[in-house]
A = this chain, B = another copy of it.
Amino acid sequence: MADSFTLGTVEVSLSPQERFEEFLQSRGKRITQQRRVLVEHIFRRHEHFDADELTDELGRRDISPRVSRPTVYRTLSELVDAGLLRKFEIGGRSVYEHDYGYPQHDHMHCQTCNKLYEFSNDELAQLRDRVAREYGFRVTGHRFIITGICQKCRAAQQQRRKRPVDLV
């Protein structure tokens, strides 16, 4: 995330793949087929996802290497450590999103369709730091999720309300 704000450093020019390899080497860990495939797959598109989706997509396919569930979990955890992914819990399960090279943002969670929407607001971090300072708390991050019903679902509810009978 912050790398896009620290222009001029080495990090900004590295792809997620390269950044992860750097991280692995710095820890004496190995660059394996499955770690490569996972990073490639995860950073192919910017979306929220969970361990189960990855296992479905990479765990039972013809192309090798296949990636097993334990490896998915182990690698996700490394990617979080490496600062490439951010993890958070929604409804008892872990959801991940890109962190590396992606600007700071927060979320709105629609309790009807279960979608996560992103937004960013500069004031929030300021407010956060102000509060923390007041308590002598050293901030490493925050999680702000607005829960409610998104525009789309609200519109759908309106529709339903207007009809005399629900035909479904």
Contact = CB atoms under 8 A, between A and B. Distances in A.
B117 A137 contact: yes
Contacts of A32: none
A6 interface: no
A148 B137 CA distance: 7
A151 B135 contact: yes
A111 interface: yes
Interface residues of A, number: 36
A127 B135 contact: no
Given A127-B121, A131-B121, A149 B154 contact: no
A14 interface: no
Interface in A108-164: 108, 110-111, 117, 119, 121, 123-124, 127-128, 131-132, 134-151, 154
Contacts of A33: none
A62 interface: no
Contacts of A137: 108, 110, 117, 146, 148-151
A94 interface: yes
Given A89-B91, A144-B145, 13 more contacts: A89-B92, A92-B92, A117-B135, A117-B137, A119-B131, A121-B131, A127-B127, A128-B146, A135-B151, A136-B150, A137-B148, A137-B150, A138-B149
23 contacts: A89-B91, A108-B131, A108-B132, A108-B137, A117-B135, A119-B131, A119-B135, A123-B123, A123-B127, A124-B127, A136-B150, A136-B154, A137-B148, A138-B149, A139-B147, A139-B148, A140-B148, A140-B149, A142-B144, A142-B146, A143-B145, A143-B147, A144-B145
